[in-house]
């Protein structure tokens, strides 16, 4: 919650959204009562100035009661003047309140990062006399694991314990006495030991697949194989 952006007398609420491996962004909703003083836009300017100084991605939305479809609308002009100063783009273009006698665009979405929005618009399915406005923000989705894990192991297929012990005994272990630093002594000991291990039980790698899904039964596997058989037969016979 961004309480520092709750400036009286605005009916405004802001939250900051944090996502892993991504910069946070701010979503602000503001309701401007109809026929309220145009001076409210000066307070709104204070909110935008603070967000602009932080250089943060932000979205402003709500029923602003400033009809952008109406020419020479005082409130709409005041709103657009403020938004232009801070380089905001308004995403909604069709009417959001439709009556038998009028059409008006009152519910708006402004943002300083329109490149982050892949889709926006109006949904007229709503119990209110105002339609729903929406915007889809692009997000990065972590790569889905394919369920294959690579592990290293030692191959003991040709391992002979007698030869291994003989090679271990033949290593120049006395060389360890030259080191006073125990860390260097350990590194040298490990190099000698692993060198023998690699010669008698070389490292190999293999892929491990996860256990089969419990819902794939033997019967289902047979049906899947039969399906594949028919597909190949159909391709060959046309």
Query: What is the spatial distance between Cα 68 and Cα 95, in angstroms, rounded to a whole number?
Result: 9
- Structural domain containing residue 155: 149-212
- In this structure, are 173 and 201 located in the same domain? yes
Do residue 35 and residue 133 come from a single domain? Answer: yes
pLDDT digits (tens, 9 = 90+) for 2-49: 999 999 999 999 999 998 878 999 999 999 999 899 999 999 999 999
Q: Is residue 224 part of a domain?
A: no
| Nearest-angstrom CA–CA distance, 119 and 59 | 14
123 and 156 fall within a common domain: no
Please report how many Cα atoms fall inside a 13 Å half-sphere around the Cα of residue 167, on the Cβ side: 16
Looking at the fold, whether 81 and 192 belong to one and the same domain comes out as no
Question: Per-residue pLDDT tens for 135-152?
Answer: 999 887 666 556 667 889
* Structural domain count of the chain: 2
- Report how far residue 112's alpha carbon sits from residue 89's, in angstroms, rounded to the nearest whole number: 6
Residue 102 inside a domain? The answer is yes
38 and 100 assigned to the same domain: yes
What's the pTM?
Answer: 0.60
Distance CA 83, CA 44 (A): 10
Cβ partners under 8 Å of residue 193, min gap 6: 168, 171
One domain for residues 42 and 95 = yes
Same domain? 163 vs 133: no
Q: Is 36 part of a structural domain of the chain?
A: yes
């Amino acid at each position: 919650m961004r309480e520092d952006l709750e400036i009286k007398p605005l009916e405004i609420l802001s939250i900051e959204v944090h996502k892993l491996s991504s910069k946070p962004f701010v979503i602000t909703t503001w309701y401007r009562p109809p026929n309220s003083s145009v001076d409210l836009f000066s307070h709104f300017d204070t909110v935008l100035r603070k967000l602009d100084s932080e250089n943060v991605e932000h979205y402003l939305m709500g029923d602003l009661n400033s009809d952008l479809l109406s020419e020479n609308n005082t409130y709409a002009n005041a709103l657009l003047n403020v938004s232009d100063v801070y380089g905001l783009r308004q995403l909604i273009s069709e009417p959001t309140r439709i009556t038998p006698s009028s059409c008006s665009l009152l519910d708006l979405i402004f943002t300083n990062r329109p490149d982050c929005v892949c889709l926006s618009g109006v949904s007229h399915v709503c119990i209110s006399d105002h339609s729903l406005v929406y915007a889809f923000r692009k997000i990065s989705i972590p790569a889905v694991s394919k369920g294959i894990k690579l592990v290293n192991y030692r191959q003991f297929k040709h391992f002979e314990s007698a030869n291994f012990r003989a090679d271990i005994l033949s290593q120049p272990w006395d060389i360890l006495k030259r080191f006073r630093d125990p860390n260097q002594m350990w590194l040298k000991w490990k190099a000698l030991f692993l060198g023998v291990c690699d010669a008698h039980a070389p490292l190999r790698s293999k892929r491990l697949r996860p256990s089969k899904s419990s819902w794939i039964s033997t019967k289902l596997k047979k049906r899947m194989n039969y399906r594949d058989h028919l597909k190949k037969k159909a391709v060959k016979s046309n």
